[in-house]
Amino acid sequence: MFSVSRPNRALLGAVLASALGLSSCSRAPEQAAAPAASAPAPQPPADGRDINFGLPMGFSVEKMDPTADPKKDLVRYAAGKWIDAAVIPADAVRVSTFDLLARQVQRQLGAILAEAGKGSATAATGTPLQQVGDFYASGMDVAALTQLGVAPIKAEMDAIAVDSPTALASTLSHFIQILNEPVLAAVLVSTDPKDRTRYAVYAADGELPMGPDNYLKAEAAPVRDAYRAMVAAKLAIAGYEKAEAARIAAKVLEIETRVARKKLTPVQHRDPNIRFVRMPFAKAQALLSNVDLPAYLQALGLPPQDEIIVSEVDALRERNAMLKEYSASDTRDYLRWELVKHTSPYLTPAFQEPTAAFAKAVYGYGELPAREKLIGADIAARLGHPLSQLYIARHFSPETRKAADDLVARVKATFRARLAANTWLSAGTRRQALEKLDALKISVGYPNRWIDYSGVEIRRNDYLGNVLRLNAFSARRELARFGKPVMTDEFAQPGSTQPIDINAAYAPGTNGIEIPAAFLQPPFYDSKADAAVNYGALGAVIGHEITHGFDSTGRLYDATGNVRNWWTEADGRNFVAEAQKLVAQGNAWEVLPGLHVNGALAVGENLADVGGLSLAYETLTAHLRDHPDAARAADGMTPPQRFFLTWAQVWADKAKEGFLKQVTPTDPHPPGLYRMVSPSQHEKGFYEAFGIKAGDPMWLPERDRVAIW
């Protein structure tokens, strides 16, 4: 995934996290032509200066500090003036090119949403305009939401039953359908990791709101205190007496702490051979003896199973033990909290205050984004395709898609030539690597088929109801796949691959890459920029995602997306040994005093950075050979210099210490300041471009450089 570290979605709570840029039966999805263009709204400055502290969004010498020496400090040389000018917004934990482009897209979407909110009342039912506009209107009606309070969830709170394994199964199956997220112990449907031609049934543990480290590390005690206070405050808003709310909050923390002790580590979680455990259904029922799994399946409309795939076996075993140890009352209170946690963003705005207080305790700020941004982010998460159709009609051109497709083909061809000439892989492994690359599908912009939400009722006066109906639609749509031919939704991962997302992503389970439409604007692509700039940005993005298919995790999947070891033992051993150089480089980099990059966790991203940059640079070099007129200097810099400086500017960022302390140990994406320089240090052309020699601070000894792909 070509992105920066993101605030923990659950840690912030659904209200704040959605603002920070997250992740049934229906008619067949619609064929996706590009939507008809709508009338453009008045546009702000084209180069984004009003968002980017008076500087252009794309590559610019204005961002550089010419007084710095690139041999000593490429960070300052490439982006020193931007770093000096950049200010972290009051409602954010970091500012980066990703965040700034996301804010620009938010502004573009904001105009669309405001117009949709006014025009949806007369739009045809089920159209993107009606659904997006009415959803927006329902979330913006603060007065009505305040008046309703928590009344919309009272019936759901009262209906929670846990008095027997069968009753608990009924409650959990209902939660899956109205919340569309795992709670306690979830039954889900997805493709079989070892046979992508069929769907399988999974049992999975629910997500921990804070991530294991915050439950277990002594230094995280203030975070735990703030979390307990937030849970108690939200339960009090939901109607509990303060003392009772505090007691339940302590119990919630106790339960989640026990689960945290049994969770896979972030590194283990990235290995599908560890993460997914196939077992006979009878063994899974023994693992979850206090949940009636056959009744669970039946309630979800799934047939009896001979086997099931379990994720987080030890955590589920601990969940099961607690179901026996704790009283039914404790379990009921815990599930009521889960309901409050998942629905509070769509109820009275009073719930925002404890969320903001918690964010301030953890990240050092507590100012919530404007209401329209909160609602806009939620629409993006739940009606992403209808909103994307409105966005593409206004902000994405066929010319941009064609240019990106052309760049994709060029970079992919470079990688294929490298694989064909590879000397360290055995013939059999190299042949299968080529098969995987040839099977790789790279899609640009938007899907060939949109998800059809037209059958979901969206009302202007029912915010929570809209959310629950959309959740139910998505959950039932996934469950209904079981037993049918596999059909993959394109550009459908909220916060990652929807056409309105600022990201690009490789999916190992489908062996596919998606580059969303909104991503294809400065600083990542600029139709007016020279080749060096576009190869240093979008070209490197493409190379990065292709390399993900062959990184420490991607190499565990074959050409069809199946989890399968297609490497010889010797080839695998050589890969790990070479990748260890990146682990060591990451471990040595200090983010804050005493806090280092988690090299083992970040090795996949770091390898993708190194591979992506190298592929793009070689492809640029070939382009310049074929187009000598493009090899001229600009702004006093050669194309190679502009290439590496573009990459560095893309990754320039500033972040709050609280955020860095939270994400560095557990997020596979290293900080932007690390990525500005470290990948370039493995590329020979980097040293040639700036005359860097042994003994210079930017020099990395050749023995420490990686040459895998």
Q: For a pLDDT cut of 70, what percent of the chain falls above it?
A: 93
- Residue % of the chain over a pLDDT of 90: 90
Q: What separation in angstroms does the CA of 705 have from each of 9, 600, 670?
A: 35, 17, 18
Dist. CA 513–CA 506, nearest whole Å:
4
Cβ neighbors of 708 (< 8 A, separation 6 or more) are: 550, 575, 578, 579, 607, 610, 611
Across 355-369, 562-576, 686-700, least confident range: 355-369
The beta-strand segments (E) located in 342-467 are 441-445, 449-450
Answer yes or no: are the C-beta atoms of 172 and 185 closer than 8 Å.
Answer: yes
C-alpha span between 549 and 509 (Å, rounded): 10
Q: What is the pLDDT of residue 26?
A: 31
**Number of helical H runs and strand E runs in the chain:** 31, 13
pLDDT at 565 exceeding the cut of 50 = yes
Provide the residue type at 690 as one letter: F
**60 DSSP β-pair partners:** none
Q: Are 231 and 252 in contact (CB under 8 A)?
A: yes
Three-state SS for 506? Answer: strand
The full DSSP string for 115-157 is HHHHHGGGSPTTSHHHHHHHHHHHHH-HHHHHHHTTGGGHHHH
CB contact at 8 A, 193 and 509? yes
**H/E segment holding residue 353:** helix 352-363
Q: Does a cis peptide bond (omega within 30 degrees of 0) precede residue 523?
A: yes
pLDDT of residue 6: 54
Q: Residue 368: which pLDDT band, with cuts at 50, 70 and 90?
A: confident
Beta-carbon contacts of residue 537 (< 8 Å; ≥ 6 apart): 59, 523, 524, 525, 526, 646, 647, 650
Q: What are phi and psi of 31, to 5 degrees?
A: -65, 135
- pLDDT per residue over 48-84, tens digit each? 899 999 999 999 999 999 999 999 999 999 999 999 9
What's the pLDDT at 46? 60
The residue among 441, 384, 678, 404 whose CA lies nearest residue 524 is 404
Q: Indicate the DSSP class of residue 73.
A: -
Confidence tier at 475 by pLDDT (50, 70, 90): very high
Q: What do you get for the CA distance between the two ends of the chain, in Å?
A: 18
| Residue 10 pLDDT greater than 60, yes or no | no
What's at 279, amino acid-wise? M
In sequence order, what E strands does 48-180 have? 94-96
C-beta atoms surrounding 693 within 10 Å: 10
Compute CA distances 656 → 104, 528, 621, whole Å: 21, 34, 38
The confidence band for 14, taking pLDDT boundaries of 50, 70 and 90, is very low
Average pLDDT in the chain: 93
C-alpha 584/C-alpha 331 separation (Å) is 45
pLDDT > 80? residue 366: no
Report whether 489 contacts 385 (CB < 8 A).
no
Q: Which residue has the tokens 């020699």?
A: 693
Question: Quick check: 498 pLDDT over 50?
Answer: yes
28 has pLDDT over 90 = no
Q: Record the tokens describing residue 143, joined without a space.
A: 């007065």
Q: Is the pLDDT of residue 674 over 50?
A: yes
Q: How many CB atoms lie within 10 A of CB 6?
A: 22
Residue 145: strand, helix, or coil: helix
557: DSSP letter: B
* pLDDT higher than 90, residue 622: yes
pLDDT at residue 465 greater than cutoff 60: yes
Residue 112: CB atoms within 10 A of its CB come to 25
Task: Supply the pLDDT for residue 15.
Answer: 26
* Span 76-117, pLDDT tens digits: 999 999 999 999 998 899 999 999 999 999 999 999 999 999
Per-residue model confidence (pLDDT) at position 47: 73
Domain architecture of the chain: domains with CATH: 151-347 (1.10.1380.10), 398-446+499-704 (3.40.390.10)
Per-residue confidence (pLDDT) for residue 32, from 0 to 100: 38
pLDDT at residue number 456: 98
- On whether the CB atoms of residues 376 and 113 are closer than 8 A, the answer is yes
As a whole number of angstroms, the distance between CA 517 and CA 34 comes to 11
**In contact, 178 and 472? CB cutoff 8 Å:** yes
Higher pLDDT, 36 or 685: 685
Query: Would you state the structure tokens that stand for residue 595, as one six-digit string?
Result: 């806090």
pLDDT score recorded for residue 369: 85
The residues, any chain, with a CB within 8 Å of residue 114's CB and separated by 6 or more, are: 136, 372
User: What pTM does this model have?
Assistant: 0.92
CA distance 611 to 239: 54
Phi first, then psi, for residue 449 (nearest 5°) are -130, 130
Instruction: Determine the Cα–Cα distance for residues 306 and 46; give it in Å rounded to an integer.
Output: 59
Q: Rg for the chain (alpha carbons), in Å? A: 25
Q: Which long-range contacts (CB under 8 A, 24 or more apart) does 412-419 make?
A: 412/437, 412/440, 412/442, 412/542, 412/546, 413/619, 414/543, 414/615, 414/618, 414/619, 414/622, 415/543, 415/546, 415/547, 415/615, 415/709, 418/615, 418/618, 418/709, 419/709
Taking Cα atoms as reference points, which of 654, 640, 649 lies closest to residue 686?
Answer: 640
Per-residue pLDDT at 66: 97
Residue 682 CB neighbours (<10 A): 24
All residues at 6 or more sequence positions from 577 whose CB lies less than 8 Å from its CB, including other chains: none
Asked if the model's pLDDT at residue 31 lies above 60, the reply is no
pLDDT confidence of residue 363: 85
Alpha helices in 504-638 (DSSP H): 531-534, 540-548, 569-588, 599-626
Identity of residue 390: L
Per-residue pLDDT tens for 501-553? Answer: 999 999 999 999 999 999 999 999 999 999 999 999 999 999 999 999 999 99
- 1 falls in which pLDDT band (50, 70, 90)? low
Residue closest to 102 by CA, chosen among 15, 3, 12: 3
Give the pairing type, strands 195-205 and 185-192: antiparallel
> pLDDT, tens digit, for every residue of 397-412?
999 999 999 999 999 9
